A and B are shown apart, each in its own frame.
Chain A
């Protein structure tokens, strides 16, 4: 057992021959265990276990770098444009295939989350499926305005994953419609 070796005294005083005493090899380990657990506690608290995750972002290449391939432009009726504004608001619209003077555009502001933008994306997916037969044809254009927060961009990219949107891109708000929207919601576009 772990006891301290207390030298016995008195009993064998009278003996002439000094017999070397047999010492016990046991040492009291309590203090050592205490120290061990103290250090464990320290290292446990100092460790960062949950490593941060990353989210991969692919930006479309700049156009001047590459020879612009003549692709047929995407049908606007397959698209959904989401503009990210300030104060955690997102604005969405669907631009028509042909724009003329009589075109009416409905612009709606929603928040991020399952009742806001997710509903819009789901609804658009259903519409695209009804019109084109494949819900994966939906192309989402994400256009963050300068005043939006990074969190908003991450949230939107997240929604793309959650709603299984295969085709999306982060674009600059360059469209003439975007300028109108920016003016309407009173935010600078650049």
Chain B
């Protein structure tokens, strides 16, 4: 009886298929990734059972920090530019091209509109280090900065939806001020951003 010879197999494996899979997944993740935008303040959003997903575009975002400071942001860069144009004519801001570009890339900000040019002059990493004072809000009349932001942004893009991102511990007082400003501009409908939670909790 002939001896059965067990052939010696190489331990090397064909990696081609594995490589294909790896890069397929990589492509998927690259395309779906949306990086977390830089934030002016850390905000911990309250949970709710609401299941409506936040729309992908046309968002006007207000953020309220735990201490009541108010921040503003638009998602679209062209709308931001249109807003800046309107602001510079109404608040007599003389803006250079560099400042405009800086505003175009500004995700979220909160300060007196008149202080914007000085803020935009700074380098991006310098800006991140600054504690922003929050939008100037005054609902009793006099200054209407927040109202103007709403008005000019809506002029730039009429489909804007208003989203309010507030911290869990934000006092209703500061939330109410913002709502007053919105209602002064006849906005009675808006969205509060919340995180998902199950009904049982």
Chain A positions within 8 Å of B, measured between CB atoms, are 1-3, 28-30, 32-33, 36-37, 39-40, 43-44, 46-48, 50-62, 65, 84, 144-155, 157-158, 161-162
Which A residues touch B130, using CB under 8 A?
none
CB < 8 Å neighbour of A150 from B25, B49, B64: B64
Q: Does B116 belong to the interface (CB within 8 Å)?
A: no
CB distance from A165 to the nearest CB of B (A): 14
- Least CB separation from A144: chain B residue: B172
CB distance from B45 to the nearest CB of A (A): 6
9 smallest CB-CB distances across A and B, nearest first, come from A36-B22, A29-B15, A43-B29, A146-B173, A54-B191, A55-B50, A151-B46, A151-B168, A144-B172
CB < 8 Å neighbour of B52 from A44, A54, A145: A54
Which B residues touch A36, using CB under 8 A?
19, 22-23, 25-26
Q: Are A37 and B22 in contact (CB under 8 A)?
A: yes
Q: Are A53 and B34 in contact (CB under 8 A)?
A: no
Q: Are B19 and A52 in contact (CB under 8 A)?
A: no
CB distance from B16 to the nearest CB of A (A): 6
Given the contacts A53-B52, A149-B170, A161-B50, A32 and B25 also touching, CB distance less than 8 Å? no
Among the stretches B96-104, B120-128, B193-201, the one at the interface with A is B193-201
Which B residues touch A33, using CB under 8 A?
15, 18-19, 22
CB < 8 Å neighbour of A52 from B15, B16, B54: B54
Q: Are A43 and B33 in contact (CB under 8 A)?
A: yes
- Least CB separation from A37: chain B residue: B22
Given the contacts A53-B54, A56-B52, A148-B171, A47 and B32 also touching, CB distance less than 8 Å? yes
A28-B15, A53-B195, A55-B48 given; 11 more Cβ-contact pairs under 8 Å: A1-B12, A1-B13, A3-B12, A32-B19, A39-B26, A52-B193, A53-B51, A53-B53, A55-B50, A84-B172, A157-B192
- Least CB separation from B32: chain A residue: A47
- Supply 23 A–B pairs (Cβ within 8 Å), ascending by A: A2-B14, A3-B10, A33-B19, A36-B25, A36-B26, A40-B29, A46-B35, A47-B33, A48-B36, A52-B45, A53-B48, A53-B54, A53-B196, A54-B191, A57-B189, A57-B191, A60-B188, A149-B170, A150-B167, A150-B170, A151-B168, A154-B48, A158-B50
CB < 8 Å neighbour of A54 from B15, B33, B163: B163
Q: Are A52 and B195 in contact (CB under 8 A)?
A: yes
Given the contacts A1-B13, A29-B18, A55 and B29 also touching, CB distance less than 8 Å? no
Q: Are B192 and A55 in contact (CB under 8 A)?
A: yes
Instruction: Provide the main secondary structure of the chain B interface.
Output: mixed
Q: Are B195 and A1 in contact (CB under 8 A)?
A: no
- Least CB separation from A48: chain B residue: B36
Q: Are B172 and A54 in contact (CB under 8 A)?
A: no
Instruction: Report how far A158 CA is from B49 CA in the complex, Å.
Output: 6
- Least CB separation from B197: chain A residue: A158
Which A residues touch B163, using CB under 8 A?
54
Instruction: Report how far A33 CA is from B19 CA in the complex, Å.
Output: 5
Instruction: Report how far A24 CA is from B26 CA in the complex, Å.
Output: 28
Instruction: Report how far A167 CA is from B43 CA in the complex, Å.
Output: 31
Instruction: Report how far A81 CA is from B169 CA in the complex, Å.
Output: 23
Q: Looking at A2, A146, A154, which has the most chain B CB atoms within 10 Å of its CB? A: A154
CB < 8 Å neighbour of B29 from A47, A56, A65, A155: A47
Which A residues touch B195, using CB under 8 A?
50, 52-53
Q: Are B191 and A56 in contact (CB under 8 A)?
A: yes
CB < 8 Å neighbour of A53 from B29, B172, B175, B194: B194
8 A Cβ contacts from B155-201 to A: 163, 165-173, 175-176, 179, 183, 186, 188-196, 199
